[in-house]
Amino acid sequence: MVKAQPGTQRAGLLMWFGVVAAPIAWAAQFIFVYAITEAACHVNGRRWGLPIDAWAIAAMAAAAVVAVSATAVSLRLRRETRSTDDDDAPPAGPVHFFAVVGLATNPLFLAIILMNGFAIVFLPNCVQA
């Protein structure tokens, strides 16, 4: 296994993936599912017969895979940059910090992704509020 050394371009890219991938995946899922729901519920869109539930599950699964991957990347970066007891050096600054931020936020975005996807499947669509 190749370690992502702090200060390298690879560590920076992994760090940013671990922090922003889950929120971007949720936003993409939300916009996509909103768009297909609006299209399917519109008078002209009803002729298309869009399978909203199937598209919502596919979008939820894709976004969940991205969120879990971002969590795994954050966990790996945190493990690689933490200091040990026999080492007096501090953790690797921003890479370690953003890895912890990713570990804190990614499970929340995964929960939001799952709730958003299951809400489309289990709650009625095309209902006037």
Q: Is residue 1 part of a domain?
A: no
**25: exposed, middle or buried (C-beta count within 10 Å: 0-12, 13-18, 19+)?**
buried
Per-residue pLDDT of the chain (129 residues; tens, 9 = 90+): 445 555 567 778 999 999 999 999 999 999 999 998 888 887 776 777 778 889 999 999 999 999 999 999 999 999 888 765 555 555 567 888 899 999 999 999 999 999 999 998 898 877 776
Kindly give, in sequence order, each residue whose CB lies less than 8 Å from that of residue 45, ignoring residues fewer than 6 positions away. 38, 39
Domains contained in the chain, number: 1
The pair of structure tokens assigned to 3 is 């370690």
The distance from CA 58 to its chain's CA centroid, rounded to whole angstroms, is: 14
The pair of structure tokens assigned to 104 is 């804190």
Q: Is residue 115 part of a domain?
A: yes
* Domain encompassing residue 96: 19-122
Backbone angles phi, psi at 48, to 5 degrees: -70, -30
